[in-house]
Amino acid sequence: RIAVVGSYGVGMTMSASRIPEAGETVLGGVFSLGPGGKGSNQAIAAARLGGHVDLLTIVGPDAFGDQARQLWAAENVGHAHVRTGTGATMIGFIMVEPGGENRILVAPGALDELGESDVERFAGEIAAADLLVVSLEIPLATALAALRAGREAGTTTLLNPAPAVPLPREAFGWIDYLTPNMSEARILADAPGETDPDRLADALRAGGFGGALVMTLGGDGALVDEAGIRARVAPVRAPEVVDTTGAGDAFTAALAVRIAEGASLAEAVGFAAAAGAHAVGRAEVIPALPHRSDVDALLAG
Ligand code: ADP
């Protein structure tokens, strides 16, 4: 069983020949709309990979919130504790120029209302879970309360520190598995400008993180550091790199599923790398999240 605490939101993407200047209207954009949010993405991927998943997040009293519940029902994601807040469902506006450069504006809306009392309502699920997965697209105090609740209940905890913010040092004591990418690791380690994964890992250790570190390195795979043993995990070759959005969520979810199943960390990271490779080969987010058979097929070569 996996308990997930994180965000849900809808992305509205518009690609156009150029970004409008102030006061200007540009016609000819191409629009697409899709569900996302790190918590929901990770919950859906974990369920597709075979996990028994329960999600805590919040939506708005609007059509996007209703669609989210339909999505979770179709994907076998438990959502009995998802609350409808007063603000709107989180929305991201993404403007994409021809070169692929994007500009993103996010309105958290109802997500700002996800609070510690929601974590308390979810305490039974956290205690019953083999693993608690938390990400940071929600108020920091709520994410920290969830990790602390996991620690107090004796549930293994995983933090995907995205989007990254500096964490209070005591929070490191509540995290068993930490899955930053390099730019997130730089923020957590307070090491701006550090580009060497080993030195970043050292900086995180020096900053007081004692749990298992799994740093994702994009097309270079991952670095694993646990109990003084450090290793590089090679990437699984993606048949084609189409869109890297969702790779980190697929990776985190896959790692969570295998850890909850009792696999070794090395085995879990290998499985996660294949899940990430699957995601980069597919456009959009939800369609890119792998099923178990996709990952097994990639690992079988
Ligand atoms: P994020 O999206 O959070 O920045 P990464 O880009 O590091 O995360 O990707 C997460 C994981 O997905 C990587 O650790 C790797 O295993 C896999 N991955 C990402 N990009 C590629 C790629 N080009 N080829 C193969 N695997 C990839």
The residue whose CB lies within 8 Å of the most ligand 1 atoms, and thus the one to mutate among 280, 282, 285, 299, is 280
Atom of ligand 1 nearest to the CA of 274: 16
- Give the tens place of pLDDT for each residue, 176-202: 999 999 999 999 999 999 999 999 999
How far is it, in rounded angstroms, from Cα 83 to Cα 85?
6
Which residue has the least CA distance to atom 12 on ligand 1?
Answer: 276
Residue 270 has pLDDT above 80, yes or no: yes
| DSSP for residue 177 | E
Contact 276, 251 (CB under 8 A): yes
Task: State the virtual CA torsion across 159, 223, 279, 135 in degrees, nearest 10.
Answer: 10
Q: Provide the β-strand partners of residue 134.
A: 5, 159
Task: Tell me what ipTM this predicted complex has.
Answer: 0.97
**How many other β-carbons are positioned within 10 Å of the β-carbon of residue 30?**
9
List the catalytic residues: 249
pLDDT greater than 80 at residue 55: yes
* pLDDT tens string 222-262: 999 998 899 999 999 987 888 888 899 999 999 999 999 99
Least confidently predicted of 13-27, 91-105, 185-199, 252-266? 91-105
Cα 75 to Cα 58: distance, rounded to the nearest angstrom: 17
Residues above pLDDT 70, as percent of the chain:
100
Ligand 1 centroid–CA 15 distance in Å is 24
Q: Is the CB of 273 under 6 A from ligand 1?
A: yes
What domains does the chain contain, in order, with CATH numbers? 2-8+37-89+109-300 (3.40.1190.20)
- Please give the residue that has the higher pLDDT: either 301 or 149: 149
Asked if pLDDT for residue 120 goes beyond 80, the answer is yes
* For residues 136-155, average pLDDT: 98
CA distance 62 to 155: 34
Pick from 76, 105, 188, 176: nearest CA to 140: 188
C-alpha distances out from residue 217 to 32, 59, 79, 137, 250, Å: 29, 32, 32, 21, 14
